[in-house]
């Protein structure tokens, strides 16, 4: 998955959380796509913030 394919809101939140950005950058393309697809169901900025914080805090949630 290329940067241009990451939803803007997700990319915007990732840039404000260094730990999440670092972890996201190390994921496989499939894992990134799985996370990206989750964002299409979000209705608020707070949901996106929670997702990005979860990326920073949880090393395995996107693998299931």
pLDDT at 5: 85
pLDDT at 24: 94
pLDDT at 1: 64
Contact 41/10 with Cβ under 8 angstroms? no
The size of the chain, in residues, is 64
What are the residue boundaries of the structural domains of the chain, listed by start? 3-57
What are the pLDDT tens digits along the chain (64 aa)? 666 789 999 999 999 999 999 999 999 999 999 999 999 999 999 999 999 999 999 877 766 5
pLDDT at 64: 56
CA distances (Å), 10 to each of 3, 28, 41, 60, in order?
11, 16, 12, 18
Q: What distance in Å separates the CA atoms of residue 46 and residue 63, rounded to the nearest whole number? A: 22
pLDDT at 4: 73
């Amino acid at each position: 998955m290329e940067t241009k394919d990451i939803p803007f809101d997700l990319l915007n939140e990732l840039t404000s959380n260094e730990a999440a950005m670092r972890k996201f950058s190390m994921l496989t393309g499939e894992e990134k796509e799985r996370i990206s697809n989750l964002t299409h169901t979000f209705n608020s900025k707070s949901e996106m913030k929670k997702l990005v914080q979860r990326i920073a805090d949880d090393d395995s949630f996107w693998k299931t």
